[in-house]
Amino acid sequence: MAKQDNFKVPCGFEYQKSPVDLAFASAVLFLMGSSEIIIKEDEGVAGLGSRRFKRKDFLLRVREFPVLFSSRGRDAGRGIVPVESNAFIVERWHARTLFSPSIQLHIAPQGAVSVLSVHDQLFYENNMTYRGCCSAQFLPEDLISDVVREGKRFAEFFSEKGYRGHLSFNTIVLENGTLLFTEVNPRRVMSSYPFKIVQRCVTGVAVPPWYVSSRVQKDSWKGKDIAHVLRELSPSLFSKGSQRGIIPYDYGLLSSAGMLSVLCIGSNKEEVKNLLSVCDVHLS
């Protein structure tokens, strides 16, 4: 669909239904010059179901492919998430990218498309697993315009097909400036929540604030409740008066894993980076 309507996507193959199909498609990509590929599940969440394979060790790791299709392999790779189609996508992996923009849109009951927000995505060290997002100010203005234009065009295609509701697209920007669509999510995505929190908490300002949302995990937080974290971060917590600071949220895994999300809001990039450093998160 994307290729037919001139939406740029990574070189690859979709809907691979068996280990043999998956191995064959991977081999084709390597023969076409890919040095590394990524295999993604159709129902993957936050990139937890993705695996990368390098050309040099492809034959050694091809035995892993049958495990990808087993419940044991799926659960070990990305947690307990229902699998419906049991299908995979294999694509060329682009290791060197400039940005990873995402755009969140909404298609109204009458079919009108509106843009809700644009972010740059944050990932863990493997560059696959979603960690958080940065506000649109972290992206060049011309890139934001490109993402909005192409995102709306893609969403209008979905609208014409009868889709209604929330819709999100993930993209990457290559070193030569090419914008590639890498994922579509027909739902409200995790990046939507920091945006809504900022909308609710920051009011009466002429210039939109900068913000970064990130997952944070600390061993010292295991077994603790949110009150403990609030006391620890109290000097830097968000203030309605200053319209800046840290907002902890999504702390369902706090006691068991010492993990939650923090939303750092400031008037500029350096202020946000300083707030993140309070939580031991450092932006490159």
pLDDT digits (tens, 9 = 90+) for 143-177: 999 999 999 999 999 999 999 999 999 999 999 99
The label of the residue with tokens 């307990």 reads: 80
pLDDT of res. 70: 66
Residue 42 in this model has a pLDDT that exceeds 80: no
pLDDT of res. 81: 39
Instruction: Tell me the pTM.
Output: 0.87
Per-residue pLDDT of 189-238, as tens digits, reads 999 999 999 999 998 888 899 999 999 999 999 999 999 999 999 999 99
Q: What is the DSSP string of 29-83?
A: HHHTT-SEEEEEETT-STTTT-EEEEGGGHHHHGGGHHHHTSHHHHHHHH-S---
Per-residue pLDDT of 136-146, as tens digits, reads 999 999 999 99
Confidence of residue 10 (pLDDT cuts 50, 70, 90): very high
Cβ count within 10 A of residue 186: 13
Determine the Cα–Cα distance for residues 44 and 77; give it in Å rounded to an integer: 10
Residue 83 in this model has a pLDDT that exceeds 70: no
Determine the Cα–Cα distance for residues 207 and 88; give it in Å rounded to an integer: 43
Q: Is 2 in a helix, a strand, or coil? A: coil
Please report, for the chain, how many H helices and E strands are present, in that order: 9, 13
Q: How far apart are the first and last CA of the chain?
A: 36
Strand partners, 266: 210
Contact of 265 with 245, CB cutoff 8 Å: yes
pLDDT of res. 176: 95
**Average pLDDT over every residue of 235-262:** 96
pLDDT of res. 131: 94
